[in-house]
Amino acid sequence: MGRRRSFGDLCYGLLIGGLALLAVTIIVAPVVIVLMTSFTEGAALKFPPTGFSFRWYEQLFDEAKSRQIHKAAGNSLHVAFFATLIGVVLATLASLALARNPHKLARVADSLFMSPLVLPGITFGLAALVYFTTMGFRPSLDLMIAGHLVVTMPFILRTTTASLSQLDPALLDSSRSLGATWLYTLRRVTLPLIAPGIAAGAFLAFMSSIDNVAVSLFLSNARTDTLPIRMWGMMEATLDVRVAAVSGVLITAAFLLMLLMEWTVGFTRRMRD
């Protein structure tokens, strides 16, 4: 009987390990292929690459040859920064109001805040375009910030709420019993303790905004296109190898930022919470 259980455990471990390896391969293989392709000597976007060269990275960072890409990247950073900044303020306030509120309306409000994660991005992008057009607004960076704010704020709300749920209420009671005002307690006790959760959510929101296509596609025009839309157009028109170089820069930047977040706020632990 013991041998059968040991054999079953071995088979189970091999199965789970094989599935995990397959999942990792599916996730990592496209990234590796893109990185390898970005160093090709050839003028075509194909795999396997021919030779090894930094020519496409040199062209990517050349202001004259890649002015439109730089402009699109600047628009993406502008939108992501302000959408994240406003999202941090609004999501933190919403989390403070909803985290320990026992009222049923609080749960309804929390579900409404999280609903953009359930709604398909292309659906929300079209709905946002129709709504803003009806209101008389034209596609612009400001509208794009508003659209990105809706779809990225749930990330900040969720991680902040998780941090608040782990906050010991005795600390807040002690602060109030010592005569501290609500605002002083918030500034000196609550916010410092939940800051790692806010930072983790801000990181997720920023990266989600940088990578967003669906909302940006509907709320941008020829002058306000973002980096993902510019890359999409380059892929459709010419299969420009600089697309792979841009992907390489984004992958490297995201990896370094993730390491920084892991080192400063324990990003993995915050995601588990």
Position 5 scores a pLDDT of: 58
Provide the pLDDT for residue 226. 86
Q: Please indicate, yes or no, if residue 174 is contained in any of the structural domains.
A: yes
pLDDT score at 7: 66
pLDDT of residue 139: 79
> How far is 190 from 154, CA to CA, in rounded Å?
20
**For residue 211, which of 203, 199, 221 has the smallest C-alpha distance?**
203
Domain contains 116: yes
Whole-number pLDDT of residue 1: 43
Give domain status of residue 29, yes or no: no
Is 28 part of a structural domain of the chain? no
Q: How many structural domains compose the chain?
A: 1
Residue 63 belongs to what domain range? Answer: 38-272
Q: What is the pLDDT of residue 84?
A: 93
Taking the model in full, what pTM does it have? 0.80
The CATH number assigned to the domain holding 130 equals 1.10.3720.10
The residue among 207, 226, 205, 204 whose CA lies nearest residue 215 is 226
Q: Could you say which DSSP state residue 189 is in?
A: I
Average pLDDT of adjacent 10-residue blocks, the chain of 273 residues: 59 82 86 85 77 84 85 91 93 84 76 81 85 84 89 89 80 77 80 85 89 85 82 78 86 85 67 55
User: Token digits for 32?
Assistant: 């590796």
Q: Tell me, yes or no, whether 17 lies in a domain.
A: no
Is residue 78 in a domain?
yes
